[in-house]
A and B are shown apart, each in its own frame.
Chain A
Amino acid sequence: MRRKLSEIFIEGCIRLSGVLCISFVVLIFLFLLKDALALFGGYSAGKFLFGSQWLPVSEPPHFGIVPLVIGSLYVTLGAILICVPIGVGAAMFIAEVAPQSLKTILKSLVEILAAIPSVVLGFIGIVWLGPFLKTTLGLSTGMCGLTGSLLLAFMALPTIISISEDALAGVPKAYREAAFGLGATRWQTLWRILLPAASSGIIAGVMLGIGRVIGETMVVMMVTGNAPVIPASILQPLRTLTATVASEMGEAVSGSEHYFALFAVGLILFIITFLINLVADMSLRKARR
């Protein structure tokens, strides 16, 4: 009888954790939705989504998120272009090329990389990377999209490397032996057999890395210049969706149009990261099959 009771208790606890987890997600979404939709009572959704000016304190205010979306897009695309080749390359090296001893060291280094607080990276960006880019590329300011891209790429690397490495290590030994048995070199085996076989896992890793990049706030707020205008190139100051919410929320009057507009920006971000996670999840599932 006693055993039975503890059984019921433990089962209840586990069930509660599961239900709590799900309800948190749903509640956050509802909370965001409620305040975000309040904006569209007085401000048109079209002007919000397609407006090219973000001037929240002018009279009348403009809440067009196009500059912010483009800012996010520039920084994210830049980061992806940098981190995907490096990340997948590093995963290939760790999984297939590095000798066992080096492999262990590299894997723990990658984990340490993931543990660096983002504010420290932002600090490095302000003190060193920004000025370095400014003088090397001859820019008017080093606080620009590229600085953000580089630092974000750095932040996404650990995710991409460790998931891709797992995917490569999970390719059946038989494929490797078959390819080697036919006289393929290590590189030919890696490129034509192992990479395609591990592709869904690698894609999932990349998508999760991208999710991290889009959602990151601290670094971009510190180093991208905070200029909510449509940037002509990645070498100019810009501002992302996340940085906008973070830097303006403190000064927006609770319940004002500005306040609701920031919630709407948050909702857009939520939808974007949700979609990315969904795609990553789907390709991971495909990989397991």
Chain B
Amino acid sequence: MVNAEPILKTENLQCFYGSQRVIHDLNIEVLPNEILGVIGPANSGKTTFLRALNRLNALNPSYRQSGTITFEGQDLRKIPDNLLRKKIGSIFALPQVLPISIYQNIAYGPKVHGVASKSKVDQIVEESLQKAYLWDEVKDRLDLQANRLSGGQQQRLCIARTLAVEPEVILYDEPCSGLDPISTAKVEDAMQKLKEHYTQILVTNNTKQAARVSDRTAFFLMGELVEMTDTNTLFTSPRDSRTNDYITGRFG
């Protein structure tokens, strides 16, 4: 891993839902163009961490957080919501397609960010679908309602939709949990190719997926970062016994 400035950095991050603390004192650095895998059992704060990065947590009224998050050296709190979420896109566990056509789903992002010309939007739609490896499957039926696609196609549509707004970071929250192995392989394949242009953070319950895809892996347990290092090192010679227990399947 090259010694680059971190693109995202959290310092003493603590997250609460009501009075319950779900992340304790998290310090983590994400490097440009890496794929950072985040593993850990349920309730370990993985998703909360992810959603803190583009402030989607704030949609829940009982959420509170302390500590700082910086994105490209800038305090996250100083970046307006819509700009932040354009730069840091997210893919959810269940594909969240909007109840409109395939074309409209992808065109929606660029349109809300002010791309008006029809030909430009057409071009973005095609490029994004190609990057997400979906173009060949849907190019003849872009007017189809998006929720008529299969689960795997819907998830790749969500990736294409995120790419269409030209983010810098893409957050994945268990993107393959509802997908069959072939669709999973396609999504993982897409992630590898996207590395060239994007920083990616992958939260997954599937430790093997983290081992296959990510450059570095972080292990979360009960809201704490137990260990974070090269994926190889973490899976072959983890420093912490709890990590070892988890990846060998002794709990979680």
Q: Using CB atoms and an 8 Å cutoff, list the residues of chain A in contact with chain B.
A: 100, 174-185, 188, 192-193, 196-197
Contact = CB atoms under 8 A, between A and B. Distances in A.
Given A182-B108, A188-B112, A177 B92 contact: yes
Interface string B68-109: 000000000000011111110110101011111000000011
Interface of B: 54, 56, 59, 61, 81-87, 89-90, 92, 94, 96-100, 108-109, 112-113, 158, 161-162, 165
6 contacts: A174-B92, A181-B54, A181-B89, A181-B92, A183-B89, A184-B109
Given A174-B92, A183-B109, 8 more contacts: A178-B96, A182-B85, A182-B89, A183-B89, A183-B113, A188-B112, A192-B108, A193-B108
Contacts of B165: 182-183
Instruction: Find the residue from A174, A176, A196 having the highest chain B CB count within 10 A.
Output: A174
A182 B161 contact: yes
A183 B94 contact: no
Given A176-B59, A177-B56, A182 B99 contact: no
Given A100-B61, A185-B82, A193-B98, A179 B54 contact: no
Most buried by A among B92, B100, B108: B108
Nearest to B83: A183
B85 A175 contact: no
Contacts of A192: 108, 112
Contacts of A196: 99-100
A207 B161 CA distance: 36
Contact of A180 (B85, B100, B113): B85
Contacts of A177: 56, 59, 92, 96
A178 B81 contact: no
A283 to B, nearest CB: 16
Nearest to A197: B99
Contacts of A181: 54, 56, 85, 89-90, 92, 96, 162
B82 to A, nearest CB: 5
Nearest to A189: B112
Contact of A178 (B61, B84, B86, B98): B98
A272 to B, nearest CB: 33
A152 to B, nearest CB: 34
Contacts of B158: 178
Given A175-B98, A178-B97, A193-B98, A184 B56 contact: no
A180 B85 CA distance: 7
A182 B56 contact: no
Nearest to B99: A197
Given A188-B112, A197-B99, A180 B59 contact: yes
In the A-B complex, the 3 residue pairs with the closest CB atoms? A183-B86, A178-B96, A183-B85
Contacts of B99: 175, 196-197
Nearest to A193: B98
Contacts of B100: 196
A179 B98 contact: yes
Contacts of A175: 96, 98-99
Contacts of B61: 100
Nearest to B91: A181
A99 to B, nearest CB: 9
Contacts of B112: 182-185, 188, 192
A183 B108 contact: no
B96 A182 contact: no
A182 B162 contact: yes
Nearest to A185: B82
A184 B96 CA distance: 15
Contacts of B161: 178, 182
A218 to B, nearest CB: 42
A175 B109 CA distance: 13
B90 A184 contact: no
A193 to B, nearest CB: 6
B198 to A, nearest CB: 15
Given A100-B61, A192-B112, A185 B81 contact: yes
B184 to A, nearest CB: 21
B31 to A, nearest CB: 23
B133 to A, nearest CB: 20
Given A100-B61, A177-B59, A183 B82 contact: yes
